[in-house]
Structure 1
Amino acid sequence: MGSLTVFLVEDNPLIRAHLIPALQDLAGAQVLAIAESEGEAVGWLAGHKGGWDLAVVDLFLKEGTGLGVVNWTFGRLARQKVAVLTNYATDETRILCRRAGADAIFDKSYELDQFFDYCQRLSTPDAGTGVDPRAP
């Protein structure tokens, strides 16, 4: 099985500089592309419909919103997951993200361990069933 392929939507270069190697080291993930705005993200997604396993999306971007990106992923393949990684994971934000189609929401301030655990689970077939959670 290949590594988990990630599309990262994050406009903060410092966060990207730490997140990308952590995804590689902790989840064996390969970051395919990065977008800093909603328009960039939607453009990349439109050209790579089935070409990613996990989209990691921040809510506040240079232009547009991460919520718009999450909305745009509606109708993606069942194996493709969307995780919101934000500093503003309030109860209301979590509800809005779920309604928009996010599979998981994590707070950057205190839920990074849970985020990396989630990524690791996606990158590893279920040991009990032998089923790849990314399979279509």
Structure 2
Amino acid sequence: MNLFIIEDSLLIQNRLVRFIEELPDVSIVGVSAEIAGAYDKIVDTHADAMILDIQLSDGNGLGLLKKIKSSIPEVRVVVLTNHSNEANRMQALRAGADSFLDKSTDFEQIPNILQRWQTHGPAH
């Protein structure tokens, strides 16, 4: 599985990379701290999945999520955010997110989700 990470916190980026490097058959094909240019990078790297923050330095990640899901619907997306209120969760799921996680409480679920996607496909 080719995974692309869009996260503007270097600390979270590094934590994600360390987590994911332990997983067999998951390759991180790109990391971006901003929305600008991320769509083209995701397409160019043939990403199968992405981890996406909502609040990024150059805007809201949900617009990118909608664009990805409308043009490459098979890309699976974990939204990982500090802003995990119900309104954001519903917006993310409507935009096509396959999973919605809170950075502070759900971080540990990421490896399980990625491994499940590799074997069973996304859980909706």
Given the two structures, how large is their TM-score scaled by the length of structure 2?
Answer: 0.86
Partner residue of 1:5 out of 2, 5, 10: 2
Q: Is 1:45 the equivalent of 2:42?
A: yes
Q: Percent identity?
A: 26
Q: CA deviation at 1:74?
A: 2.1
Q: Which residue of 1 is the match for residue 65 of structure 2?
A: 70
Given the two structures, how large is their TM-score scaled by the length of structure 1?
Answer: 0.79
Q: Which residue of 2 is the match for residue 107 of structure 1?
A: 102
**Which has the greater radius of gyration?**
1
Q: Which of structure 1's runs of 4+ aligned residues deviate more than 6 A?
A: none
Structure 2: how far apart are the matches of 1:32 and 1:100? 23
Give deviations 1:46-99, integer Å, cap 9, x for gaps: 434xx1111110011121221111111123143x20110111111111100011
Root-mean-square deviation over aligned CA pairs: 1.8
More strand by share: 2
The number of equivalent residue pairs is 121
Q: Cα 1:94–1:24, aligned 2, differ >3 Å: closer, same or farther?
A: same
Structure 2: how far apart are the matches of 1:28 and 1:18? 18
